Chains A and B, each alone.
Chain A
Amino acid sequence: MAHDPSVRVANPSPDDIGPWRLAVHLPSERGASRIVTESLLEQLGIHGWETADVFSIHLAAEEAIVNAIVHGNKLDPQKQVYVECLVSPELVRLEITDEGTGFDPAQVPDCTSDERLEVPSGRGVMLMRTFMTRIEYNEKGNRVLMEKRKG
């Protein structure tokens, strides 16, 4: 892009803008992830993230939020999912907390083992681990922190 000052004002480069943050409570209903992912995808583009990384972050966010709604809160309308996002040009951080009893991620069976390869469910956590740079659960297992670093 040409270094014309007027262009820079109209279209600031990702380095010129501060990190985007979002904190939102989602209802425990199917499809609620869209409330977060639509803004998240827009901000990933604004902050200069490449298509492959956008796919990875979108996938991890979708899987984590659906897990929180369906497995964590068990679609209980009295419970909510709390989502915090940070997007900067170099780092994306997503923290998703549900009001369920938690789970032990170490106990999730290996979905790539021969006996589970054709089971239709149970791939979400594995995809989150694979497509993000860092993923950690709290001790209770009702909150997941995920990060993606560029490069």
Chain B
Amino acid sequence: MPTHQRIDVSKVGDVTVVRFNDRKILDEAKIIEFGAELFSVVELDNRKSILLNFDGVEFLSSAALGKLITLDRKVKSHKGRLKMSNIRREIYDVFLVTKLNKVFDIHDGEAEAISAF
């Protein structure tokens, strides 16, 4: 498995759980790395069931949202499934106003999200 700087990747059963090493996902250089590392989970490691656990993430910008949308497309094109969990209220509000809550499969907690795969 490749070494990641921006994300932490683990397995829970058949589900690949991704956590984030940064509390704030906004610095553009980091977002580029963040995107590349997320995409590698799908394209290089060929993971099909991926959960993004946002526990500890306090902020993300629209540039980071763009990476999540691209990731979602890549997962779908690989016939995989992407879910998200542990999104704090302020960030969930961003998903709501942009209507990305309709695009992403969002759950309250990690266990609930994993059982939904």
Contact = CB atoms under 8 A, between A and B. Distances in A.
Interface in A107-144: 111-112, 117-121, 123-124, 126-127, 130
A112 B102 CA distance: 10
Contacts of B58: 55
A118 to B, nearest CB: 6
At the interface, is chain B mostly helix, strand, loop or mixed?
Answer: helix
Given A31-B28, A62-B26, A66-B28, A52 B67 contact: no
A112 B1 CA distance: 37
Interface string B55-90: 000110111011101101100000000000000011
A127 B28 CA distance: 18
A56 B73 CA distance: 28
B97 A130 contact: yes
What class of interface size applies to chain A in its complex with B?
Answer: 20 to 34
A52 B100 CA distance: 20
Contacts of A130: 97
B116 interface: no
Report the 3 A-B pairs with minimum CB-CB distance, sorted nearest first. A120-B66, A55-B90, A30-B28
A123 B98 contact: yes
B98 A111 contact: yes
A52 B59 CA distance: 11
B27 A117 contact: no
Given A112-B98, A126-B98, A63 B61 contact: yes
A120 B38 CA distance: 15
B12 interface: no
Contacts of B66: 120-121, 123
Contacts of B111: none
A31 B26 CA distance: 9
Nearest to B68: A120
Contacts of B26: 62
Given A59-B61, A120-B70, 18 more contacts: A30-B28, A31-B27, A31-B28, A34-B27, A55-B58, A55-B90, A66-B28, A112-B97, A112-B98, A118-B103, A119-B69, A120-B69, A121-B63, A121-B66, A123-B62, A123-B98, A126-B97, A126-B98
